[in-house]
Amino acid sequence: MTALQALAPLAARLVGDDRLPALSFRAAVAVFLLTSIGAAALIHAFVGGNFSVLYVAQNSNLSLPLFYKIAALWGGHEGSLYLWVWILTLYTLVVAWHGRKRYQEHLPLILAVQGWLMLGFFGLILFLSNPFERLFPMPPDGRDLNPLLQDPGMVFHPPLLYLGYVGFSVPFAFAMTALLTRWESELWIGLVRRWALIAWGFLTAGIMVGGWWAYYELGWGGYWGWDPVENASFMPWLLGTALIHSITVQDRRRMLHDWNIFLVISTFALSLLGTFLVRSGVLSSVHAFAVDPGRGAYILGFMGIVLVASFGIFMALGRYQRAQEAVTSLLSREALFVWNNVAFTLAGACVLLGTLYPLALEALSGAKITVGAPYFNTVMVPIFLAVILLMGVAPLVPWRKANTERLKRRLLPPAVLGLAAAGLMLLVFGWRHWTGPVAVGLAAFTMTALLTDYLRAVGLRRTQHREALGRSLLKTVAGNRRHYGGMVVHLGIVVITLGIVGSGLFRAEMSVSMAPGDVLEIAGERLRFEGVAERRGPNYAAVQGRFTLLNGGVTVTPERRLYARQDMPMTESGIHSTPLRDVYVVLVEAADAERWAVHAYVNPLVQFIWAGGAIILLGLLLTLSQRRPRAAAKVAAAAVAPAK
């Protein structure tokens, strides 16, 4: 069926049979249904403890809670690839259903591109990573799911990431179709924007949930360590962010056509690279699956074919997707958006270099090096500070050309408040690192710029419509949800920035040995160790510590668990959170009969990071809630026009 979906539109062009393209739609529906049946069969095997399936025996056991038996579908290499292709069939089905009336003429070729991608992954599953492989004789029990994955984060983090990774295949399919058929950019770019926003939103949610999971599960007090597999999800996020902003410029000013196609291809290519890094076995990471070299070679070869084919088509036919206008003033919104693209693309290139350089060096010379946080922080922090500055300036600058005097008046209040915030931080906290006052000053500048831009629009509406303040506040947002949704997203980025500054520059940590009754003082917090108690979980034994926060009288209970089936110890941190700080306690190991090694952290403002992520997703939903009638009319017109 997948081969039929991939080949039918191409065969129709060769033999001139108009009936063949319709087969792609039917094939897309059939492939999704058949793949869903396969997924249901695997889940049934997990839930029923059918250990005659090798993949089930390797990633489950009789005592595993039902919650994790279902999530174990994507707990290993074979199942995670099956989830990848299952989501791809889902996206393909939605595109097929959505496109029957909106872009009917181009739909078969879009489905054909998706079909070729599915063929590549189905080939890997069938020949090298079959999750349905049988095991005889059937063992009485399974090996159990990796204890690191027996956590609620496992249920949500991988599917969200995959929905983001695979979601970028839809813009990729549109771009390839546009190049092959000379589909005018103005007629499809609005559709790509919505798909890119959806994929970007899922990827954002996946990254945030992953950071939250790493924070409370791994017992190190952090949430982002520049791990190569973390970078694998961050790179398509960076280029996807550039793509969303660049599409806005094309939509408003008919510019950056070929650059947008380049970003579409590159973003999806980085999504494939993330798949390769996690499943090829080239990385040693808590995120990565150890697999044989054959699978890695297949994924690398498939990724190479996709890159060569897509960039080859782009180089051969990209001249038909030329911009109709150009930047006329460096002091214009489109110029600032271009600089935004430069910043995000540069950031993506820096992360790509730091991730792949150690792998390339080891492959070529055998030497092993680690590129860690010092490199990434040095190159990425200045780039993102520049991005925050652009976020504050861009909303105040009009399209085409700004009036210099008017812009100065609009920038003055945010600039004054930004400088005041930076100075206040220096006065209160002193000099710790230059990034602190600069980041806080820029955050205050950007938040003030966003607020004054919104209040200016509210004031104009009240003048025009004579409305009450509350009604104008709501109607201003409702009248331009796309714009103000973007502003809410920017606000979320600013809130995350404050969280990173607080938890990065002002974190306190201490490692001590404690006996019951001992009191630990750290960053103004006092923790008394009350002792430990044993408890049993469904498939583990645990020693639970009890610590009382004397400042507030609350209790935190970190644990030390042992999963008997794999004889693997795990730590579960105890965390008490307020909006301004987290007290984070880890029970490490027994020092003797009475004393325990304890790690304690106080992380200021770390909750701002998760709150900022929630704000970003709310802004994205607000943006997606507004449809574009003008774009819909263009697409409808294109659907009845023959492809050139």
In the chain, the percentage of residues whose pLDDT exceeds 90 is 52
247/265 Cα distance (integer angstroms): 14
232/239 Cα distance (integer angstroms): 12
152/94 Cα distance (integer angstroms): 28
**Across 439-459, average pLDDT:** 93
Question: Which of 48-57, 82-91, 214-223 has the lowest average pLDDT?
Answer: 214-223
299-310: string of b/e by CB count within 10 Å (b at 16+)? bbebbeebbeeb
291/289 Cα distance (integer angstroms): 6
Cα angle: 186, vertex 617, 94; to 5 degrees: 50
Helix (H) or strand (E) holding 87: helix 77-102
Tokens found for residue 140: 């009485």
Cis peptide, bond prior to residue 137, ω within 30 of zero? yes
How far from chain centre, in Å, is Cα 356? 20
Contact 356, 367 (CB under 8 A): no
pTM here is: 0.92
Average pLDDT, the chain: 87
391/447 Cα distance (integer angstroms): 9
Contact 208, 610 (CB under 8 A): yes
**Across 573-587, average pLDDT:** 94
Question: How confident is the model at residue 433, as a pLDDT?
Answer: 82
- Confidence band of 333 (pLDDT split at 50, 70, 90): confident
**Across 630-642, average pLDDT:** 44
Contact 507, 601 (CB under 8 A): yes
Contact 583, 602 (CB under 8 A): yes
Question: How confident is the model at residue 275, as a pLDDT?
Answer: 78
**Across 350-359, average pLDDT:** 89
**Across 558-569, average pLDDT:** 88
φ, ψ of residue 66 in degrees (nearest 5)? -55, -40
Question: How confident is the model at residue 519, as a pLDDT?
Answer: 95
Task: Please say if the pLDDT value at position 643 is more than 50.
Answer: no
Closest CA to 235 of 181, 298, 277, 180: 277
Tokens found for residue 452: 């004054």
Closest CA to 5 of 32, 19, 26: 26
Task: Please say if the pLDDT value at position 539 is more than 70.
Answer: yes
Question: Is the pLDDT higher at 287 or at 152?
Answer: 152
Is residue 208 helix, strand or coil?
A: helix
Question: How confident is the model at residue 630, as a pLDDT?
Answer: 47
φ, ψ of residue 580 in degrees (nearest 5)? -105, -15
Half-sphere exposure of residue 306: CA atoms within 13 angstroms, side-chain side:
28
Is residue 588 helix, strand or coil?
A: strand
230/203 Cα distance (integer angstroms): 12
Burial of 100 (C-beta count, 10 Å sphere; 0-12/13-18/19+): exposed
Task: Please say if the pLDDT value at position 524 is more than 80.
Answer: yes
**Across 134-143, average pLDDT:** 91
CA dihedral (114, 120, 122, 126) in degrees, to 10, reads 170
Question: Which of 290-304, 363-377, 552-566 has the lowest average pLDDT?
Answer: 290-304
Alpha helices in 430-525 (DSSP H): 435-465, 469-479, 481-505
Contact 110, 99 (CB under 8 A): yes
Task: Please say if the pLDDT value at position 219 is more than 70.
Answer: yes
CA quadruple 155, 159, 161, 164: dihedral positive or negative?
A: negative
540/557 Cα distance (integer angstroms): 17
Most confident range, picked from 186-195, 458-467, 555-564: 555-564
Task: Please say if the pLDDT value at position 296 is more than 80.
Answer: no
Cα–Cα distances in angstroms (integers) from residue 300 to residues 1, 230, 497, in the given order: 25, 19, 35
576 has which bridge partners?
Answer: 583
- Read out DSSP for 245-275? HHHHHHHHHS--HHHHHHHHHHHHHHHHHHH
Question: How confident is the model at residue 195, as a pLDDT?
Answer: 93
200/239 Cα distance (integer angstroms): 10
- Confidence band of 360 (pLDDT split at 50, 70, 90): confident
Closest CA to 76 of 55, 101, 97, 107: 55
- Confidence band of 637 (pLDDT split at 50, 70, 90): very low
Task: Please say if the pLDDT value at position 633 is more than 60.
Answer: no
Q: Quickly count: other Cβ atoms within 10 Å of residue 212's Cβ.
A: 18
Task: Please say if the pLDDT value at position 636 is more than 50.
Answer: no
**Across 105-123, average pLDDT:** 91
Question: Which of 259-273, 275-289, 457-471 has the lowest average pLDDT?
Answer: 275-289
Closest CA to 310 of 177, 190, 133, 154: 177
73-83: string of b/e by CB count within 10 Å (b at 16+)? bbbbbbbbbbb
